[in-house]
Amino acid sequence: MYDHKLFLSVLSEFAEVLLAPYEVELVLDELADRISAVLDLAGSGVSLARDDRLEFHTAFGSAVAAVERAQEQTQTGPCVTAFRTGEVVSVNELAAAERAQWPHYCAMAAAVGISAVASLPMRLGGQTVGVLDLYAPARRDWHEDDLAAADVMANMATVFLIHASQHRKQAELNAQLQTALDSRTTIEQAKGLLAAAHHISIDEAFERIRSFARSHHETVRDVADRIVHRGFSP
What are the domain boundaries of the chain? Answer: 4-168, 171-230
Per-residue pLDDT tens digits for 74-121: 999 999 999 999 899 999 988 765 667 888 888 889 899 999 999 999
Question: Which architecture does CATH list for 4-168?
Answer: 2-Layer Sandwich (3.30)
* Sequence-distant (≥ 6) Cβ neighbours of residue 52 within 8 angstroms: none
Angle at 74 between CA 71 and CA 80, to 5 degrees: 50
Tens of pLDDT, residue by residue over 110-165, are 899 999 999 999 887 777 888 999 999 999 999 888 888 888 877 777 776 666 66
What's the pLDDT score for residue 128? 85
Beta strands in the chain (DSSP E): 43-50, 53-60, 89-91, 116-124, 127-136
Q: Tell me what pLDDT residue 79 has.
A: 92
For residue 130, what pLDDT is reported? 86
Residue 214, judged by CB atoms within 10 A of its CB (0-12, 13-18, 19+), counts as exposed
Tell whether the model's pLDDT for residue 26 goes beyond 80: no
Mean pLDDT over the full length of the chain: 81
CATH of 171-230, one of 1.10.10.10, 1.10.760.10, 3.30.2130.30, 3.40.390.30: 1.10.10.10
